[in-house]
Every structure is written in structure tokens, then in C-alpha cells.
């Protein structure tokens, strides 16, 4: 195994495990959400692993993300649901991407692109059932439906799915979940009456997929659970396995005398003669500066506290007076599965008042993605050299 200074190890067997758990819990097919470079894990290998493990489809936000997956040779059904006016719908149509629409303006642009190329665009309808973010707004719904029926009648579009996104999926028993599902079902009835019945319907994100099988229609649309982070910590881990382990090579070990300060502004002063280590991971790599003084790393079976400021490229840990037997070149786990103790992405999130979604998706491009697991070998993404995801 070739070492790299900073490594995000991505366990593709864990992806396979998590797909199986999501299918079993939801009794539905899985549309694996691989937006934002698969929440920082690497979109192409994760997409391949998810499909190999039985996920039916893929989903991303930007069309450019969908086009990148196609360019990598992934021929699965891909839905893309966030479009700005500059979006290249013609390219999306040419690549056979399912374009989820949030407005009549988007529909008109897609229809124009479809006419231009003389083809039929595959579209889905993103219904705003209460999130008031993306999705067709309530006041536009009727005229949107009429325009969609017209576009369908002239073969400019084929309507694949109706979808919406939950406001409070992470509160499974909240009545808003049921209200949103009812609004989506009503929208499907409207579309059906207009002659544009969707082929499939989906609304459940990770927490709903795991806890509300009654909300699953044809597909569930999980992101974070695919990556093995429980979306409902109070209800346990559901058997999910965390996919990403972030580790750094100890770059430098040195003595610091009692009374000396460490890192910018000397926010940590050595209370005793000690030994410190420098790790090549900083806020530019996604280690939040807010974690200064609040993180610990695991080396072997010992935990060591981060001390002083987290810098752009590096952070410092205290090895204690005896140095803990740590040597330059040893590997420090910044976060991992937590299965044998050791820090997790959730520990980081809790320490700074955010969610683990932000932690894993924020791990930067300098962390070399290394793909492991039997699936990795089968998919040819495990070349043993710490393959970069780009
Ligand atoms: C990101 C996203 C998801 C996945 O959400 P998780 O909470 O990570 O499961 C599903 N649907 C849409 C529309 C999204 O934007």
C-alpha cells in the first residue's frame, strides 16, 4: 500500500452493505444520490459500486455532475435536479439525462433544446410540497401541468418521475412528512388527469428510507445513509457502515519545552516538557478551523489531542512527554468508522455544531481518495497506488 500524506480511504464494500440495508428497510429500489462528488467520496467509483450493489438509478444536483458520470462510461439512469438558466440542457438531453424540472421556464428551455435536436427529452417533475426551495411552486402548478401536457403531446418530452423533497425527514413522526406525501400523490393525480402520468414516484431521503417505508413509492433517494452515516442517531446505526476514513501521515515529531506556545497566536501553551507531531491536514482540506483544540486523532490504539490552531495545511497534536512511541511516517486517523473507538465525522460535527454531511462533503481534493473492498478490485478502481478520484 503506497502511502500518501493525506488519504481519504473509501470502502466500496461499505457502500454495497449500505445499499442492501436501504433496500431492505424501504422495500423499494434505491436511487443513489452521488451529488457533490458523492458527498466527497468520489462520484464515479461510488456510482459504479452502488449500481453493482443493486442500486437502480443515480441522482445528482447539477447537470455537469451527470455529464461527468456519463463521460466516465456510466450508463445507468441519472436524474439531475438543480438547474440555473445557463444550464446546458442540450448536452443533458444528448447524454440521456433525466432532467427534473422546477419551473415553466426550465420546461420551456428543455422543450426548445429538444426541438432543436429533434429528440424527446426525458424529464421528471420536481413538485414543491412545502420545502419552498426547488420544485414547481404552487401558483405555477396548473399552467406548468398544461405546458407539460402540450410538450408531451408533441413528443418533446417523456415524463419519467414525480418527486419532492422532505422538510423534516429527520423527524420521522412529524405530520409534515405525511402532508408532503399526500401533496405529491395529489400532484401525481393531476399529472395523470392531464395525460402525463409519471412512470415512477419518489420522495424519501435517507432518514425516511430507513424509518418510513410507507412513504417510499417506487424508489427511495438516499444520500448520507449510502455513505454509512446514520441520519437518525437516536435510533442507532441501522447496520450502516461508514464509508470514509480520513488519515494523515505523521510529518514531523519534535520536542516542545514547558511554557512554549504552539501554532498561530500560541493559543496552546505547553504545560510540561512534551513531544508534539505535525499532521499534514488543515482547513483547506476540510478540517474545520473551529475544531482547534476540540479534536483528537487516533494513532495505533492511542488517542492524541489536537493542540493550538488548525492551520490551512497542518495541525499539531500533543504526544505527551514520552512521545507515545509515535514516529514520523506513522498514520493518524482523523476520523473513521468508530467501530474500534477513534474519532468519527459525527464527533467533528457535534464539536462545532454542524452535521456530518458537511464534514464528509467538505474533505478537499488534496486528500487522495483510495478505494478499498472486493468491489473496488472488481470495478478496477483499486490500483493499490492511492488512485486519485479525478
Ligand atoms: C441531497 C438530496 C437527497 C439526499 O438526502 P440525504 O438526506 O443525504 O439522504 C435526496 N433528494 C434530494 C432532492 C437532494 O437534494
Q: Are residues 55 and 191 in the same domain?
A: yes
Is residue 373, in this structure, part of any structural domain at all?
A: no
How far apart CA 194 and CA 145 sit, in angstroms, is: 7
Q: What is the pLDDT of residue 362?
A: 98
Residues 279 and 205 in one domain: no
- Report which of 110, 133, 140 is spatially closest to residue 123, judged by C-alpha positions: 110
Final residue belonging to a domain, choices 166, 200, 227: 227
User: Does a structural domain hold residue 197?
Assistant: yes
Closest CA to 110 of 77, 157, 164: 157
pLDDT at 3: 75
- Cβ neighbors of 37 (< 8 A, separation 6 or more) are 43, 65, 361, 389
Pairing of strands 302-307, 315-320: antiparallel
Which one is catalytic: 254, 255, 264, 272? 264
For 245, the enclosing helix (H) or strand (E) is: strand 244-249
In this structure, the answer to whether residues 217 and 280 fall within a common structural domain is no
* Residue of 35, 126, 227, 283 marked active site: 35
Please report whether residue 160 resides in a domain: yes
Q: Is 223 touching ligand 1 by the criterion CB < 6 Å? A: yes
175 CA to centre of ligand 1 in angstroms: 20
Q: At what angle do helices 43-52 and 63-71 cross, to 10 degrees?
A: 70
Whether 315 is covered by a domain: the verdict is yes
Residue appearing with cell numbers 496552546: 268
**Whole-number pLDDT of residue 382:** 58
Residue nearest to atom 8 of ligand 1 (CA): 223
Q: Which atom of ligand 1 is nearest to the CA of 222?
A: 9
CATH of the domain at 19: 3.20.20.10
Among 325, 343, 361, the domain boundary falls at: 343
Cα 371 to the center of its chain, rounded Å? 16
Q: Which of 26, 31, 20, 55 is nearest to 215 (CA)?
A: 26
Final residue of a domain: which of 227, 260, 284? 227
| DSSP state, residue 122 | E
Q: How many CB atoms lie within 10 A of CB 353?
A: 7
CB 157 within 8 A of CB 125: no
pLDDT tens for each residue of 187-209 = 999 999 999 999 999 999 999 99
Q: Do residue 216 and residue 251 come from a single domain?
A: no
Report yes or no on 179 lying in a domain. Answer: yes
CA of 60 to the centre of ligand 1 (A): 9
Instruction: Examine the domain organization and report whether 273 and 155 are in the same domain.
Output: no
Residue 233 within any structural domain of the chain:
no
- What integer pLDDT is reported at residue 378 of this predicted model? 80
Closest listed residue to residue 307, CA positions, set 265, 349, 363: 265
Using a pLDDT cut of 70, give the percent of the chain over it: 97
Residue 356 lies in a domain: no
| Structural domain boundaries enclosing 322 | 244-343
- In tens, the pLDDT along 222-240 reads 999 999 999 999 999 999 9
Q: What is the pLDDT of residue 389?
A: 42
Active site residue 264: yes
* Helical ranges in the chain per DSSP H: 12-26, 35-39, 43-52, 63-71, 89-94, 104-117, 141-153, 175-193, 206-211, 345-352, 356-361, 374-379
CATH number at residue 310: 2.40.37.10
Q: Find all residues with CB under 8 Å of 354, minimum gap 6, and list them.
A: 288
224 ligand 1 Cβ < 6 A: yes
Please indicate, yes or no, if residue 110 is contained in any of the structural domains.
yes
How does pLDDT run along the chain (390 residues), one tens digit per residue? 567 999 999 999 999 999 999 999 999 999 999 999 999 999 999 999 999 999 999 999 999 999 999 999 999 999 999 999 999 999 999 999 999 999 999 999 999 999 999 999 999 999 999 999 999 999 999 999 999 999 999 999 999 999 999 999 999 999 999 999 999 999 999 999 999 999 999 999 999 999 999 999 999 999 999 999 999 999 999 999 999 999 999 999 999 999 999 999 999 999 999 999 999 999 999 999 999 999 999 999 999 999 999 999 999 999 999 999 999 999 999 999 999 899 999 999 999 999 999 999 999 999 999 999 988 878 777 544 444 443
In eight-state DSSP terms, residue 251 is: -
| The pLDDT value given to residue 250 | 98
Tens of pLDDT, residues 254-296: 999 999 999 999 999 999 999 999 999 999 999 999 999 999 9
The pTM of the full predicted model, rounded to 2 decimals, is: 0.96
Ligand 1 within 6 A of 135 CB? no
- Mean pLDDT across the chain: 96
- Do residues 194 and 114 share a domain? yes
CA angle 183, 185, 189 (to 5 degrees): 115
Whether 258 and 141 share a structural domain: no
The number of distinct structural domains making up the chain is 2
Same domain, 257 and 183: no
- Among the listed residues 312, 322, 355, 348, the one whose alpha carbon sits nearest the alpha carbon of residue 333: 348
165 lines ligand 1 (CB under 6 A): yes
Answer yes or no: do 263 and 118 share one domain. Answer: no
- pLDDT, tens digit, 9 for 90 and up, residues 341-367: 999 999 999 999 999 999 999 999 999
- Residue 229 CB–ligand 1 contact under 6 Å: no
Task: Kindly state whether residues 219 and 248 are assigned to the same domain.
Answer: no
- Phi and psi at residue 249, in whole multiples of 5°? -85, 135
Cα dihedral across residues 207, 210, 211, 217: positive or negative: positive
The verdict on 194 and 96 lying in the same domain is yes
Residues 35, 152 share a domain: yes
The pLDDT, as a whole number, for residue 383 is 45
Task: Specify whether 227 is catalytic.
Answer: no
Amino acid at each position: 500500500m503506497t502511502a500518501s500524506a493525506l488519504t481519504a480511504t473509501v470502502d466500496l464494500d461499505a457502500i454495497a452493505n449500505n445499499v442492501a440495508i436501504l433496500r431492505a428497510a424501504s422495500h423499494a429500489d434505491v436511487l443513489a444520490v452521488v451529488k457533490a462528488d458523492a458527498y466527497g467520496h468520489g462520484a464515479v467509483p461510488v456510482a459504479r459500486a452502488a449500481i453493482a450493489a443493486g442500486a437502480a438509478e443515480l441522482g445528482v444536483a447539477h447537470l455537469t455532475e451527470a455529464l461527468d458520470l456519463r463521460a466516465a462510461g456510466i450508463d445507468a439512469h441519472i436524474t439531475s435536479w438543480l438547474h440555473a438558466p445557463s444550464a446546458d440542457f442540450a448536452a443533458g438531453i444528448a447524454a440521456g439525462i433525466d432532467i427534473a424540472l422546477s419551473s415553466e421556464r426550465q420546461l420551456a428551455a428543455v422543450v426548445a433544446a429538444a426541438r432543436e435536436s429533434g429528440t424527446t427529452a426525458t424529464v421528471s417533475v420536481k413538485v414543491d410540497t412545502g420545502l419552498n426551495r426547488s420544485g414547481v411552486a404552487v401558483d405555477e402548478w396548473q399552467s406548468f401541468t398544461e405546458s407539460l401536457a402540450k410538450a408531451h403531446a408533441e413528443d418533446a418530452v417523456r415524463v419519467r418521475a414525480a418527486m419532492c423533497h422532505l422538510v423534516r425527514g429527520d423527524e420521522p413522526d412529524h405530520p409534515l412528512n405525511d402532508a408532503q406525501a399526500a401533496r405529491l400523490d395529489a400532484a401525481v393525480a393531476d399529472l395523470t388527469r392531464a395525460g402525463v402520468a409519471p412512470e415512477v414516484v419518489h420522495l424519501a431521503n435517507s432518514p425516511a428510507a430507513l424509518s418510513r417505508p410507507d412513504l417510499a413509492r417506487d424508489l427511495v433517494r438516499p444520500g448520507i445513509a449510502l455513505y454509512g452515516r446514520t441520519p437518525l442517531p437516536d435510533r442507532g446505526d441501522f447496520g450502516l457502515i461508514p464509508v470514509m476514513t480520513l488519515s494523515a501521515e505523521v510529518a514531523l515529531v519534535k520536542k516542545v519545552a514547558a511554557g512554549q506556545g504552539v501554532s498561530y497566536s500560541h493559543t496552546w501553551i505547553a504545560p510540561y516538557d512534551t513531544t508534539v507531531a505535525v499532521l499534514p491536514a488543515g482547513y483547506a482540506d476540510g478540517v474545520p478551523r473551529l475544531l482547534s483544540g476540540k479534536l483528537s486523532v487516533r494513532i495505533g490504539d492511542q488517542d492524541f489531542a489536537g493542540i493550538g490552531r488548525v492551520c490551512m495545511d497542518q495541525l499539531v497534536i500533543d504526544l505527551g512527554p514520552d512521545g507515545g512511541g509515535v514516529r514520523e511516517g506513522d498514520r493518524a486517523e482523523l476520523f473513521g468508522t468508530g467501530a474500534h473507538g477513534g474519532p468519527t465525522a459525527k464527533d467533528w460535527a457535534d464539536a462545532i455544531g454542524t452535521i456530518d454531511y458537511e464534514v464528509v462533503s467538505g474533505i478537499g481534493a488534496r486528500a487522495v481518495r483510495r478505494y478499498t473492498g472486493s468491489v473496488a478490485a472488481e470495478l478496477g478502481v483499486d490500483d493499490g497506488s492511492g488512485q486519485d478520484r479525478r
